[in-house]
């Protein structure tokens, strides 16, 4: 009969860790954060290490006597071999100097065991032969992600070390992935001056009332970043089909009336412009997913897959309120809160900015000014809290008919132009608030630069 193959483990390293703790009470400080009791393969060693952690959490001394007493209190001293086994562990370790090295060995073998267990879980998924293949793939990726996430814990690091790493990375731009850019430029001069571009790991929320152009602005940003910077964009369009998205792109790029493109009623000259625009756009690294019923776990799974294959520079989600919850019994506000936290976590995990579009509540319409505020974020929950940047689009002319607008804004008998959009930076975690103006070209559903100067926030 073939000998059973045991999963990866190192009993000597496990015993060396515990022996180090028994001879040096301060050694627990070096391993308590990164090493868990479940990382030990031996049940005996696991029980002893847990006893050491219990003493540490109660701020009590760790030595042979106190650990033996703790094990006796738990009625586990005889289970581990009595006080004699603790003496054996101490005799095998002359010094605690290498406790972190021993702990790393224990941690590494534990990861390998978790990887083997994950493989078994994925195998079981395969044998289930679920008709929903995409859901099975997502579940498999989540299983592996949990194994990797367990390794993502960071400890406290002295500022001297952080400063050294910062200046080392700042002085070596070649450490960036080929084609990677440090931050994404929106292509709108005043907005980029204010924000410094869209920074990696940031969650940027772009909100506006219906039909004010939040999708158009997001698509303009995607186009500018992809063509001007060769940035790779992952666009999750939950509201519009991919055909509608392409029509928006073509209208904006070609300058042909978007309505004529949508209806297919354009001239021969327009067709030439559209084909030229198509040639430009086809080279842009923009990836579109128009699945209408996406969960945040689906977005994470698809984004991770593309990131590993291609390397993403910006994720756009249109829009937050259409993203599905995870099915737990909770309010929609709680669901949206969980979604924004998950998006922020994804931004940090993939080191990319995420531009998430959001609707506004009806409260904005009840105010005479109609100028949006942070409290107007629909089903806000933690949107305001989790977002690094919150941007509103406000168009005063949309509150008036053309005739009313001309009467109210008649300046020296010259009608004030319609289509001027206020882009309000209502939250900026790492910079100033402010307001800029862009021109909205309704015919081609596109925003354009109007002025480069930033209007200071009041």
Between strands 233-237 and 198-199, the pairing is unpaired
Q: Which two tokens stand for residue 197?
A: 């571009």
Which one-letter DSSP state was computed for residue 360? B
DSSP designation for 60: -
15-36 per-residue burial string, b: 16 or more CB within 10 A, e: under 16 = bbbbbbbbbbbebbebbbebbb
Per-residue tokens: 398: 């949309």
Q: Reply yes or no on whether 239 is catalytic.
A: yes
Q: Tokens for 63, please give them.
A: 């030595």
Q: Dig out the tokens for 120 from the structure.
A: 């078994």
The HSE-up count of residue 438 (CA atoms within 13 Å, CB side) is 26
Q: In 240-388, where do the E strands start and end?
A: 286-289, 314-318, 354-359
Q: How far apart are CA 8 and CA 179, in angstroms?
A: 39
Tell me which residue of 427, 442, 338, 336 sits closest to 387, measured CA to CA: 427
Selected catalytic residue, list 100, 141, 239, 384: 239
What is each CA distance from 196 to 144, 310, 371, 432, in whole angstroms? 35, 25, 24, 11
Is residue 291 within 8 A of residue 234, CB to CB? The reply is no
Query: CA 293, CA 291: separation in Å to the nearest integer?
Result: 6
Q: How far, in Å, CA of 390 to CA of 384, rounded? A: 7
For residue 224, count other CB atoms closer than 10 A to its CB. 18
Q: What would you report as the CA-atom Rg of the chain, rounded to the nearest whole angstrom?
A: 29
Beta bridge partners of residue 421, listed in sequence order: 438
Contact predicate 314/352, CB 8 Å: yes
Angle at 120 between CA 115 and CA 121, to 5 degrees: 95
Closest residue by Cα to residue 319 from 377, 362, 401, 400: 377
For residue 32, how many C-alpha atoms fall within 13 Å in the half-sphere facing its CB?
A: 17
Q: Of 77, 83, 142, 172, which Cα lies nearest the Cα of 299?
A: 142
For the annotated catalytic residues, the residue numbers are: 239
């Amino acid at each position: 009969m073939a000998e059973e193959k045991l999963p990866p483990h190192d009993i000597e390293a496990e015993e060396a860790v515990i022996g180090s703790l028994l001879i040096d009470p301060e050694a627990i400080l070096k391993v308590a954060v990164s090493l868990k009791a479940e990382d030990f393969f031996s049940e005996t060693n696991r029980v002893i290490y847990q006893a050491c952690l219990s003493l540490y959490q109660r701020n009590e001394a760790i030595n042979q006597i106190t650990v033996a007493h703790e094990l006796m209190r738990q009625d586990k001293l005889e289970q581990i071999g009595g006080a004699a086994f603790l003496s054996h562990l101490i005799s095998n370790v002359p010094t605690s100097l290498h406790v972190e090295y021993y702990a790393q060995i224990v941690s590494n073998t534990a990861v390998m065991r978790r990887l083997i267990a994950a493989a078994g879980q994925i195998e079981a998924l395969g044998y289930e032969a679920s008709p929903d293949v995409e859901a099975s793939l997502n579940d498999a990726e989540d299983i592996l992600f949990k194994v990797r996430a367990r390794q993502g814990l960071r400890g406290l690091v002295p500022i001297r070390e952080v400063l050294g790493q910062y200046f080392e990375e700042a002085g070596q731009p070649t450490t960036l992935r080929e084609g990677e850019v440090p931050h994404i430029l929106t292509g709108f001069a005043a907005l980029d001056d204010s924000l410094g571009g869209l920074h990696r790991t940031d969650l940027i929320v772009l909100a506006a009332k219906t039909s004010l152009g939040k999708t158009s602005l997001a698509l303009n940003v995607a186009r500018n970043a992809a063509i001007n910077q060769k940035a790779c964009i992952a666009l999750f369009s939950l509201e519009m089909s991919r055909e509608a998205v392409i029509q928006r792109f073509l209208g904006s790029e070609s300058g042909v009336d978007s309505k004529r493109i949508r209806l297919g009623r354009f001239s021969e000259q327009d067709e030439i412009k559209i084909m030229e625009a198509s040639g430009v756009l086809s080279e842009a690294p923009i990836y579109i997913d128009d699945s209408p019923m996406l969960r945040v776990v689906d977005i994470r799974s698809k984004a991770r897959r593309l990131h590993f294959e291609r390397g993403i520079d910006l994720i756009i989600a249109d829009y937050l309120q259409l993203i599905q919850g995870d099915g737990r019994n909770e309010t929609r506000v709680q669901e949206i809160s969980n979604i924004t936290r998950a998006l922020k976590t994804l931004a940090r995990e993939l080191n990319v900015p995420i531009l998430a579009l959001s609707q506004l509540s009806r409260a904005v319409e009840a105010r005479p000014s109609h100028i949006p505020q942070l409290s107007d974020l629909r089903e806000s929950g933690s949107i305001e809290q989790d977002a690094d940047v919150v941007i509103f689009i406000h168009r005063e002319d949309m509150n008036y008919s053309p005739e009313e607008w001309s009467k109210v804004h008649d300046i020296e008998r010259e009608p004030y132009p319609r289509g001027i959009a206020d882009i309000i930076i209502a939250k900026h975690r790492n910079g100033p608030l402010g307001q800029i103006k862009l021109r909205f070209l309704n015919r081609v559903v596109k925003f354009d630069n109007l002025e480069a100067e930033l209007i200071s926030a009041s």
